Amino acid sequence: MGESSTVKTYTRHFLKIIGAFLQIFFHWLFSLVYSGSKISMPPINDLLLLESATSLAYKIRTRKIKSSEVLQSFIDRINEVNPLLNCVVDKRFEEAKKEAQIVDDLLASEVISEEKLAQEKPFLGVPFTTKDCIPVKGMIHSSGLVKRKHNIAEEDAKSITSLRNAGAIPIALTNVSELCMWWESANKVHGRSRNPYDINRIVGGSSGGEGCAQAAAISAFGIGSDIGGSIRMPSFFNGIFGHKPSPFVVSNHGQYPEPVTEEQDRFLGIGPMCRRAEDLLPILKVLTASHKEKLKLDEPVDVTKLKWYYQDNDSGSFMVSSVVPEIKQLFTKVCKHLDKAYGVKATKVNFKRFAKSGAMWFANMKSPNGPSFRQQLANLNGTVNPWMELVKWVLGLSEHTFIGIMTCLAEKGGCKYGDEKYEYLVQERNNLRRELLELLGNDGVFLYPTHPTAAPYHNEPLVKPFNFSYTAVINILGLPATHCPMGLDKNGLPIGIQVIAAENNDRLCLAVAREIEKAFGGWIPPAIKA
């Protein structure tokens, strides 16, 4: 028994070394493929684009600027950069202009006080964007699926309604991966989105178009959804802030595909994506208004009184990239800042169960019934034959992406719902959740990598498919998490970390995000190359 265990251990280490070598080789190969394309972003010349959503809202309701002026600035920016980035997939400019004019007329009438507007309409006249899987009435609702390319939303998602009631104006939809189940935003309906820091790199997924849009400053703020990292990974790759909220505090109404089980509904979260940390809290307040008492978002947070913990790797997940040194160094920087500024000591921890993150996520996503991915790809009207689709893809005739087809082929792999391995991995998830909650309590935060590397080249995720596990595990643990940008790496690509707290302690994550922004600068506009 001992000898067998030793053989398995050596085999695992050997395969991990081989896997790491292959990832290095393919990264080098992709770098050669994309070496000739170095187009830079148009500069941000309009200073309104650099303001936070909170600042714009204040200036609009105090009549220092007009909503219509702000809207036109973002429309001009979309028209300027979208041909290069392909992050916006549908627009409602004319309707938005009418809504902005109504705002300006209301403010000119002075029938409602500034104080009342600030309380009841905190984002009055502020333009925002959201991803093409969260419905906005009258706009496309395809989720990147060809069979839904003519589908038009008949009503707003409840999250969109909440933002409209707060005075915000939706202006555009952004790109996603096919059926929101991959971490590069590319599909056969809208094509591929490109990273504003390097157009040869991915924007992440599934809220990748939204991450790109925020980094490129094409709206004041955005909304994404996250079941395995779909807010936090795009925020990481595009150098912005993104928050996955606690379970059930924001309605998932309208999201397509719909969660199949109550567990999946618990894992899924709709939350804010923005350039400025100060916007996270007020946007989340709007989205979670009915859970105000539970979340205590108005309760002040003193970051010097928090207990800080961190882990800079996943303890050695199989087939997952190692965290690169530049990202590991971020944890040292945060620790030094806390010590120097406040005399606060962060404690390094090592939860070994993180090594099973990917396996735990896949197991906990299993369902006893409900539509399969093959049925989802058929838009719940029959099923697709993935082998036939693979042949058609080779011939350039399939209406599905390669990763969508491969997901169909792989979905029956691994454990089965209810079998021994499934029960084991669910129990491991429960054990890890219990350990983290015991550590965090109501005054602890946990810093953890959002992703092990900066944004890969287009298609490179195919050779490192399980790197999403750093964010995915947090979803199945049911914990709130905020990605915080912390500058650029040696290649000029954004890097950062995620901060995690106990369930319903979202306010701690948001307070830490503001502290990290204050200390390290937050969002950095994409560089302009000569």
Please report, for the chain, the start and end positions of each structural domain, with discontinuous segments joined by +. 41-366+415-520, 367-414
Q: Which tens digits make up the pLDDT trace of 56-90?
A: 999 999 999 999 999 999 999 999 999 999 999 99
Q: Give the pLDDT band (50/70/90) at residue 444.
A: very high
Q: Is the pLDDT of residue 5 over 80?
A: no
Tell me, what's the pLDDT at 37?
67
For residue 320, what pLDDT is reported? 95
pLDDT at 26: 86
Fold of domain 41-366+415-520 = Amidase signature (AS) enzymes (3.90.1300)
Residues ≥6 apart with Cβ < 8 Å to 154:
135, 137
pLDDT value for 14: 74
Enter the tokens of residue 68: 């219509």
Strand order in the sheet with 88-91: 88-91, 169-174, 127-131, 221-226, 269-274, 241-244, 481-488, 494-500, 444-449, 307-310, 347-348
CA atoms within 13 A on the CB side of 230: 29
Greatest CA span in the chain, whole angstroms? 83
pLDDT(439) > 70? yes
Give residue 423's pLDDT: 98
169, 197 in Cβ contact below 8 A? no
Torsion 9-13-15-19 (CA) sign: positive
- Tell me: pLDDT of 529 over 70: no
Looking at residue 8, its pLDDT comes to 60
Mean pLDDT of 136-140: 98
Contact 128, 163 (CB under 8 A): yes
Set 73, 177, 207, 230: catalytic member? 230
Structure tokens at 136: 């906005």
The residue among 413 and 494 whose pLDDT is bigger is: 494
DSSP state of 252: -
Band of pLDDT at residue 10, cut at 50, 70 and 90 = low
Residue 527: pLDDT band by 50, 70, 90 thresholds?
Answer: confident
DSSP run (H or E) holding 429: helix 420-440
Clarify whether 206 is annotated catalytic. yes
Residue 446 main-chain phi, psi, to 5 deg: -125, 120
Six-digit token string for 99? 């809504």
CA atoms within 13 Å, Cβ hemisphere of 27: 12
Out of 68, 159, 193, 206, pick the active-site residue. 206
What letter does residue 228 receive in the DSSP assignment? S
Residue 290 scores a pLDDT above 50: yes
Average pLDDT over residues 372-378: 95
If you average pLDDT over every residue of the chain, what do you get?
95
> Looking at residues 144-165, what average pLDDT do you find?
98
For the segment 180-197, the average pLDDT, to the nearest whole number, is: 97
State pTM to two decimals.
0.96
pLDDT value of position 530: 39
Ramachandran angles phi, psi of 269, nearest 5°: -145, 135
> Tens digit of pLDDT for each residue in 99-115?
999 999 999 999 999 99
Binned at pLDDT 50, 70 and 90, residue 2 comes out as low
Which of 59, 121, 131, 366 does the annotation list as catalytic?
131
